[in-house]
Structure 1
Amino acid sequence: MKKIISLILILTLMFTGCTKNISEIENFEDYRSVYSGEITTLNYLITSSTNEFGIASNLIDTLVDYDKYGIIQPSLATKWSVSEDNLTYTFKIREGVKWFKRDGTEYGEVTANDFVDSLRYVLTRENKSLTANIAYSVIKNGEKYYNGEIKDFEEVGVIAKDKYTLEYTLKEPTPYFLSMLTYVCFFPVNGRFLKEVGESFGTDNENILYNGSYILEKFEPQSKRILKKNENYWDKENVHIKKIIETYNKEADNLSPELFLRGEIDNTTIPSTILDQWIKDEKKETMIRPNRTNHYSYFYALNFDPNFSEEYEPDNWKIAVNNLSFRKSLFHSLDRKAAMLTAEPYNPEKRIHNTITPKNFVSIKDKDYTSFGPLGEIVDKDTFNKEKALEYKKKAIKELKGKVSFPVKVLMPYNTGSSEWANRAQVVQQQMENLLGKDYIDIVIEAKPPTGFLKDVRRSGQFALLETNWGPDYADPETFTDPFNTEGTYNKPHLALSYIDKNGKSRYENILNLAKSERKDIEKRLSLFAKAEAFLIEEAFIIPYSLGGGGYSASNLNPFESSYSPYGVSSQRFKGQRIMKKPMNTKEFEDGLIKWEEEREEALKNSK
């Protein structure tokens, strides 16, 4: 531990500039942070990376937005209406909103056609948008256009009726449609500019336009990016932070607590490795506060389409993972509490959860989705069970005799941008190997850089077992099925053997399609999605793990001023936030949370 602390101190001395205590900082209009995972594109119409959403959300505005209580508010649309059959949504676009170049010069006005042009781009297969399926899941003829079944985009359910009137036509009633509109596939784009820059769109900060609260003034990958307040922004009175200065450092996770103490940055996560030091230190303890959990879901995925190196025996893994008993042995052997202690040492149970879709995400008639159907029997049941793990190990060895070489190599990469993840990988490796035996499994942990981790590891199938996550894009449980459908980029359960139904499709795919097709009876829809989710868990295709958020931070931002939304990108916006003169402590956070919850309850009542 002493060596680690010494290394951190040595590295921090390498940063230039004067050292100030937080209380001495005079400029409360700039927000400063460090990061280790670089974005790979500014093209918000093709990405599905949370990291890239965070940038785009501050540069581009959407039709609607969410306030700090999670209530939909007008943004680029000033008002909207829905037809009697619930298929047509008509939006009035805010007049006078402009597109700007990086240097702040005006390019043109935001019009209804910008939303038509963006959807055309997203639904053009050649553009390889990773969120196209979100759009075509609801828009009339969207999927047919994407698949080339129709060639005329005018047949797709989006039209600019005039300069400031936008109309979407849905293929079926979709009660959660408004909640989808803060997702990137429904962001606007200026069609003329898109044609001008062509394939260069989103390659740097010169090749995009801005209509949001910030302009990306500086973009130097693996060095620095600066977001500057858009002084011509239509709602600039609600943008209080003038500059967002983000500096790249591959050791950001380790260095940021010390940099915060030195007054050089305004926000840091406090890793569990040093949490005790902060809580027991009289000065530091006044700077630290808990974080709210969020609706991101974390789970361990078992890969049915391994594409990793031969040294890790992908063929052997593929045979093993297609055996239910083998999967069940892994499923019941993961001690999630032991894993969570690496991130939440004081109260790990508050973040562990047993389903993919979190509790309190969506409900009907006061009945939570996770209580529907077979999920009701899973939601409160711990998956860790030593006896069952060993029982299934015994069965797997018998069933795989002569087919699989033991120990089975289990490639489990981790992201080096997180020290907690590195620690957790070692804990999981040792805990599972000790329980099941090194004669049965050989978990190989592999360090991978944070930049490109999503693309190079998860999407490319460079893993056998992987801690991964998914955040909701809209207010319906269908959003939590996206990682696992046939176009998903996670563990691809549709490729699992012995699960093909008579129609040639996988059992999960058939259950899922049945759920997706139910649009009128919402209770039935939730029940069908609950059946699909329970199938993934009961067949041990994934191991549910935890909620996102949680942990501890030291921050000069007030968490109760930020936009609140479980879905879309609103919660990543800096709009509305101010930099405090001193960080919030735990008592202030707890009091603030109680007040916010009371205010939110009242606001929700008044919004109905």
Structure 2
Amino acid sequence: MKRFLALTLVLLMLLAGCTKGNQETQTNVEKPAESGETVVETPAVVQEYTTVYSGEIATINYLVTATTAEFGLAANFVDTLIDYDRYGVPQPSLATNWNVSDDGLVWTFKLREGVKWVTHDGKEYAEVVAQDFVDAMKYILDSTKESQTANIAYQVIKNAELFYNGEISDFEQVGVKAIDKYTLEYTLEKPTPYFLSMLTYVCFFPANGQYLAEVGEKFGTDNVNFLYNGAYIMETFEPQNRRVLVANENYWDKENIHIKKIISIYNKEAATLAPELLLRGEVDYASIPSSIIDEWMKDSKKKDMIRPNRTGFYTYFYALNFDPQFPAEYEPENWKKAVNNLNFRKSFFHALDRKAAMLTAEPYDPEKRISNTITPKNFVDLDGVDYTQLGSLAKFANTDSFNESLAKEYRDKAMEELKGKVNFPVKVLMPYNTGSTEWANRAQVIEQQMENLLGTDYIDIIIDPKPPTGFLKEVRRSGNYAFLECNWGPDYADPETYTDPFTPSGTYNWPHLAEGYKEANGKNTYENMVNAAIAEVLDIELRYALFAEAEAFFIDQAFVIPYAVGGGGYSASRLNPFESPYSPFGVSAERFKGQKVMEKPMNTEQYEAELIKWEKERAEALKAAGK
């Protein structure tokens, strides 16, 4: 308790300079009207939004990062060619209009004139022009920059992969050109019907080439070495202290920017502190963890402040690492031998009780978030048939993989096949992010549940707490795990986006390293199946069918254990979730544009009513847009 109070006092001191003051707590003001009657005026809600966070960012260089926390910030600093409205309908942004050639290869965008790049102190630097998109792409396709999203760009733009790999050196041969000051042209390798949906992802952001040359490697290292053309400017950036965003007064669409200041306070105990700070009116958002949901639900005042969260299109799954890079004490070579055994993987696949795991996050309705596939339901469809119901994938989509008898059957087979080759119990290093209390609880649930089912003579799951700052780099990308909860968000409207992390150039340590799957061309079976699907660009029905078969194979071989979709849970927030831009892919959903701070948080009843209204309006908007 003393530690909790001390942390709270520290946070209160940090917040002292950025509280909402008397304006939030003023009583109604009486003013005499012209008629002589007294009119009671309610002060407007101060449009400032304050949160607390635990995981610090490493960069805001959107040209290299693929981390949501980092590009989510950048999404508020830099605009894209198009954006999405609150119904998910594409809208003009930096581009006012666009067209595509009859063969589907050349996309031409006319840029909005008069949009300004400004510095961190609001001073005009330059106008946003077509060349900015060319310069940004040249930076991304420079392999020495190690952009984590370069592959998304070079898989569609003509000659981009050749340039990235150094097979050509003349960037003029790459399919991105400034035709004139305000006309941008992309030439694609092949027709890509979903290309428009890719344009709100960071690899298609603009950047001023002159400025990139000026600041060099400092670009995006802080708020000063950065240019802004979007809704907000980062006025203050004090790592592990606070960030302050202020509305960009030079923004081309500033009448739609209602929140004037966004304050984020760092505290490593943010997940624990946020609910109490929200009750005190010191922050405007708190995720309400499952550990205190019952308490809030039973308290009439607290219950009136919380609402469900929409589920999203981030996919969560458990990854088994085929390239272990963890310390010797956890026996990485022993794990590598075990994980390359199909029966060993299938014992894990059928032993994981997803519902038990999900109860740590969704105690009231766990089923709404559980997912049996990598690609979530309702992401794309084919003539009204959901993608997850195509071909062999339907079997997995409609079947819970948790099966105690099958798990034990595969365990016994694995132990027999690995006798004398692998030391049992196999040590299974399973890190988790300490920034999430639910993740910490879930790790313990999974450890106990799987060890109880499979036996401690078979596996020894070692849960390993890791700090939130740098977790992605230090754990997942470094291969510092055996078994890990991971996630992936879609970047564009096509099943291909959910294959991106699993390719040899992706961010996971498999499946191309798995033994026994190499085919005549030197590539593994899954990679060949995905490449066949990628190559089909004209027959969408066949394209989707090929991707579905590749995903079914991937799951069947237990390279991954699908777990859940993102979102869900409960929160208390003074933002209306139905005002924010809506899109399953790209960065639009990270933007604060269009949102207003409400007087008090939305409750569940209000949320349900607004959701019904929004779904009806969205269906009408999509129909009107021809979607």
Look up the match of 1:538: 556
The corresponding residue for 2:369 is 351
The answer to whether the aligner puts 1:119 opposite 2:120 as a matched pair is no
Verify: 1:83 aligned to 2:79, yes or no.
no
Shift in Å, 1:103: 0.7
Q: Which amino acid aligns with 1:409?
A: K
Q: Take 1:521 and 1:324, find their aligned partners in 2: how far apart are those partners?
A: 34
1:154 equivalenced with 2:155 (yes/no): no
Is structure 2 residue 569 aligned with structure 1 residue 584?
A: no
Matched residue, 2:525? 507
SS in 1 for 2:236: strand
- 2:20–2:46: 8 Å Cα contact kept in structure 1? no
Q: 1:261 aligns with which of 279, 283, 286?
A: 279
Q: Provide Cα deviations, 1:508-551, integer angstroms capped at 9, x if missing partner.
A: 11111111111110011111111111111100010000010000
Residue 527 of structure 2 corresponds to residue 527 of structure 1: no
Q: Contact 1:101 / 1:210 at 8 angstroms: preserved in 2?
A: yes
Residue 319 of structure 2 corresponds to residue 328 of structure 1: no
1:12 and 2:8 are equivalent in the alignment: yes
Alignment CA distance shift 1:189-1:248 (3 Å): same
Task: From the superposition, tell whether residues 38 and 361 of structure 1 become closer, same or farther in structure 2 (CA, over 3 Å).
Answer: same
Instruction: Indicate which of 456, 462, 470 corresponds to 2:488.
Output: 470
CA contact 2:20–2:48 (8 Å) conserved in 1: no
Which amino acid in 2 is paired with 1:309? P
Matched residue SS, 2:158: coil
Alpha-carbon distance between aligned partners in 1 of 2:179 and 2:98, rounded to the nearest angstrom: 14
1:301 aligns with 2:296: no
How far off is 1:368 after superposition?
1.1
Q: 1:271 to 1:476 in 2, by over 3 A?
A: same
Q: Give the alignment partner of residue 449 of structure 1, picking from 467, 473, 497.
A: 467
Distance 2:20 2:181 in 1: 53
The amino acid of 2:8's aligned partner reads: T
SS of 1:532's equivalent in the other structure is helix
Q: What is the alpha-carbon distance in structure 2 between the residues aligned to residue 304 and residue 108 of structure 1?
A: 48
Match of 1:143 among 161, 173, 176: 161
TM-aligned CA deviation for residue 11 of structure 1: 3.1
- Partners in 1 of 2:433 and 2:132 — Cα distance? 37
* Matching of residue 202 in structure 1 with residue 220 in structure 2: yes
Q: For the Cα contact (< 8 Å) 1:20–1:264, is it kept in 2?
A: no
Please tell me whether the aligned partners of residues 60 and 212 of structure 1 are also in contact (alpha carbons under 8 angstroms): yes
In 1, the alpha carbon distance for the partners of 2:21 and 2:241 equals 23
Query: Who is 2:112 aligned against?
Result: 94
1:459 aligns with 2:455: no
Separation in 2 of the partners of 1:504 and 1:316? 26
Residue-by-residue CA offset, 1:468-490 (whole Å, 9 max, x unaligned): 10000000010001110001122
Distance 2:272 2:483 in 1: 26
What per-residue deviation string (whole Å, max 9, x for no partner) do you get for residues 356-394 of structure 1? Answer: 000010112111111111101110100100000000010
- How far the C-alpha of 1:200 sits from its partner, in A, is 1.1
Cα separation, 1, equivalents of 2:350 and 2:534: 30
Residues 558, 172 of structure 1: alpha-carbon distance in 2 compared, 3 angstrom cutoff? same
Provide the secondary structure at the position in 2 that maps to 1:495: coil
Cα offset, 1:8, TM superposition = 3.8
Aligned AA (1:366): G
**Which AA in structure 1 matches 2:124?**
E
Within-5 A mapping of 1:184-583: 184-583=202-601
Q: The residue matched to 2:527 in structure 1 has which SS?
A: helix
**Once structures 1 and 2 are overlaid, which stretch shifts more, 42-51 or 484-493?**
484-493
1:22 and 1:262 in contact (8 A); partners too: no
Match of 1:167 among 163, 185, 192: 185
Q: Can you give the 5+ residue segments of structure 2 that lack an aligned partner in the other structure?
A: 27-42
SS at match of 1:494: coil
Q: CA contact under 8 A between 1:23 and 1:582: conserved in structure 2? A: no
In structure 2, C-alpha distance between the alignment counterparts of 1:590 and 1:342, rounded to whole Å: 23
Structure 2 residue identity aligned to 1:534: A
Report the Cα distance in structure 2 between the residues aligned to 1:303 and 1:73, rounded to whole angstroms: 41
Which residue does 2:40 correspond to in 1?
none
Cα distance between partner residues in 1 of 2:123 and 2:376: 44
Partner SS state of residue 274, structure 2: helix
- Opposite residue 578 of structure 1, the aligned amino acid is K
Q: 1:79·1:92 contact (CA, 8 Å) conserved in 2?
A: yes
Q: Which amino acid aligns with 1:11?
A: L
Secondary structure of the residue aligned to 2:49 is strand
SS at 2:76 equivalent: helix
Amino acid at match of 2:104: N
Secondary structure of 1:58's counterpart equals: coil
Distance 1:100 1:502, change over 3 A: same
Once the 2 structures are TM-superposed, how far is the Cα of residue 491 of structure 1 from its aligned partner? Answer: 3.3
Percentage of pairs with the same residue: 67
Distance in 1 of aligned mates of 2:105 and 2:57: 37
Q: Is the 8 A contact 1:21 1:262 kept in 2?
A: no
Distance 1:130 1:264 in 2: 36
Superposed displacement of residue 12, structure 1: 2.0
In the alignment, the residues of structure 1 paired with residue 306 and residue 5 of structure 2 have an alpha-carbon distance, to the nearest angstrom, of 20
Query: C-alpha root-mean-square deviation of aligned residues, in Å?
Result: 1.3
Structure 1 position 23, deviation (Å): 6.6
The answer for the alignment partner of 2:29 in structure 1 is none
How far apart are residue 150 of structure 1 and its match? 0.8
Q: How far does the alpha carbon of each residue in 1:380-433 deviate from its partner, in whole angstroms, 9 at most, with x for none?
A: 100100000000010000000000000000000000000000000000000000
- Aligned equivalents of 2:459, 2:451: Cα separation in 1: 6
Q: Is the 8 A contact 1:12 1:258 kept in 2?
A: no
Give the secondary structure class of the aligned counterpart of 1:283.
helix
Question: How big is the shift at 1:21?
Answer: 11
Distance in 1 (alpha carbons) for counterparts of 2:442 and 2:96: 47
Residue 68 of structure 2 is matched in structure 1 by 50
Q: Which letter does structure 2 place at the counterpart of 1:34? A: V
Q: Tell me if structure 2 keeps the 8 A contact 1:21–1:261.
A: no
Counterpart AA for 1:184: V
- 2:130/2:178 contact within 8 Å kept: yes
Q: How many residues align?
A: 604
* Pairwise CA distance, 1:246: 0.4
Q: CA deviation at 1:203?
A: 1.0
Q: Are the equivalent residues in 1 in contact too, given 2:316–2:485 (CA < 8 A)?
A: yes
- Change in CA separation of 1:478 and 1:521 when aligned onto 2, cut-off 3 Å: same
The equivalent of 1:24 in structure 2 is 25
Distance change >3 Å, CA 359–CA 590, structure 1 → 2: same
Task: Please state how far the C-alpha of 1:20 moved relative to its aligned partner.
Answer: 8.5
Distance 1:233 1:22, change over 3 A: closer
Q: Trace 1:51-70 onto structure 2 (pairs within 5 A).
A: 51-70=69-88
Letter in structure 1 aligned against 2:145: N
Contact 1:302 1:541 in 2 (8 A): yes
